[in-house]
Amino acid sequence: MEKVLLKNTENPNSADINEYKKVGGYQSLPKAFGMQPKEIIEEVKKSGLRGRGGAGFPAAMKWTFASADPKSPKYLLCNADEGEPGTFKDRQILEKNPHLLIEGMVISGYAIGTEYGFIYLRGEYPAAKDILNRAIKQAYDSGFLGDNILGKGVKFQLAVHQGAGAYICGEETALIESLEGDKGQPRIKPPFPVNVGVFAKPTVINNVETLSNLPYIIEVGGEVYSKIGSPECPGPKLYCVSGHVEKPGVYELPMGTTLREIIYTHCGGIKNGKKLKAVIPGGISTPVLPPDNIDCKMDFVNMPKHGSMLGSGAVIVMDETVCLVRVCYRALKFFEHESCGKCTPCREGTEWLRKILGRIENGEGAEGDIDLMLSVSSNMLGKTFCPLGDGAASVVQNFVRHFRPEFEEHVKNAKCRFK
């Protein structure tokens, strides 16, 4: 497959506007401005583009809602918080191909009818911040941003806002709170951001990768785009693979590539020829899978059939040397640390689960602890305010579901054999 999102990124200067233009950059902009905003949304609808931030929500639908809201101004927010453990795909675009994102945002902004865009950037991405700011300046200087883009009278202002390092600020409403200067905690929905978002105005929030597809969709048309990868959710997809593979990294592949192909064909298989023990396919919040599931297609439609989710496409590969109790413990430690504290089950449950897991991992687990964990996590699941708490609970449930004997062994032997 021809690279769309990571095009030209092997070029060390790919972030520069001239290098971007050399490979056809900013060519979709004039084409987009020649279309009616509605036509662009129609094209995106045809393309079948679904959000790459984790939930897979159809992009065109969000845009239609926001553009139909009479309130103004509207806002376009790019979610570059990339906080899901295991995920580093957006970073590739931000650092290597920032103009692709900028071009995508200008097109989206034009389509939705907004003049204001923000990139909400993960606090721990200082390099990306500099690169983005440089790119934004270049785009302003070249007339791709500002009050009269391409001399066509189109306006779009873009700025970077850096987060302070909270995972929850990747959740769209917490992101909005944070952008407004408040503590990052999710808001009640409805109303949804498309109607009442940042500064109480209609707001579209899309992931970096989602927005970066726009120039290509305009270039080749929705029809052509929709032929890439899985028919139900087409397009190129960035898979970022970490853990025990020979060649970890970010791979741009057609949506729906199987886990097996990703791990064995593209990443060179399990490191040092060890045995595969488990895969977390879409970031730590997605359910862990035992090896017998690796023929599943990595997309929004097929992953749920195997009891997991595509999530952010962050594949974490674990070989036979890994203690899964410890992984589960580390995950809960993460969730405990990142729980915003707004709702009871997540605030208290993550801490409790982490404590039980710590006990088991340290060989201090008691008879009944595993069931206690299942009970505590089921008291969380479906009861939390936002998906973070659900994610935490489901990690425990899925690790136990697939690897219960390993937990039982820890309790029975009162020690961890991987230490």
Ligand X SMILES: Cc1cc2nc3c(=O)[nH]c(=O)nc-3n(C[C@H](O)[C@H](O)[C@H](O)COP(=O)(O)O)c2cc1C
Q: Which residues bind another protein (CB under 8 A)?
A: 166, 183, 188, 336-352, 355, 366, 372, 379, 382-385
Q: Are 267 and 244 in contact (CB under 8 A)?
A: no
Binding-site member from 316, 323, 346, 373 for ligand SF4 (CB under 6 A): 346
Q: Which is nearer to another protein, 210 or 350 (CB)?
A: 350
Give which of 369, 380, 370 is closest to 403, Cα–Cα.
370
In angstroms, the CA 355 to CA 9 distance is 44
Binding-site member from 37, 48, 54, 248 for ligand X (CB under 6 A): 54
Q: Distance of alpha carbon 340 from its chain centroid, rounded?
A: 19
With CB cut-offs between 5 and 8 Å by kind, which of ligand X, another protein, ligand SF4, none does residue 206 bind?
Answer: ligand X
CB of 209 to ligand X, least distance (A): 7
CB of 133 to ligand X, least distance (A): 20
Which stretch in 207-215, 228-236, 269-277, 334-342 sits in contact with ligand SF4 by CB under 6 A?
334-342
In angstroms, the CA 286 to CA 311 distance is 6
Residue 252: DSSP 8-state: E
Cis peptide before 254 (omega within 30 of 0): no
Q: Are 258 and 298 in contact (CB under 8 A)?
A: yes
Enumerate residues 6+ apart whose C-beta is below 8 A from 355.
none
Residue 390 binds ligand X (CB under 6 A): no
Helix axes 37-47, 98-112, angle to 10 degrees: 120
Give which of 43, 62, 42 is closest to 52, Cα–Cα.
62
| Residue labelled with tokens 């413990």 | 329
With CB cut-offs between 5 and 8 Å by kind, which of ligand SF4, another protein, ligand X, none does residue 35 bind?
Answer: none
Residues in region 136-195 near ligand X by CB under 6 A: 168, 170-172
Which stretch in 221-229, 257-265, 317-325, 381-389 sits in contact with ligand SF4 by CB under 6 A?
381-389
Binding-site member from 323, 386, 393, 400 for ligand SF4 (CB under 6 A): 386
Residue 248 binds ligand SF4 (CB under 6 A): no
Residue 347 binds ligand SF4 (CB under 6 A): yes
Residue numbers at the binding site for ligand X (CB under 6 A) = 51-55, 57, 79, 81-84, 168, 170-172, 205-207, 210, 386-388
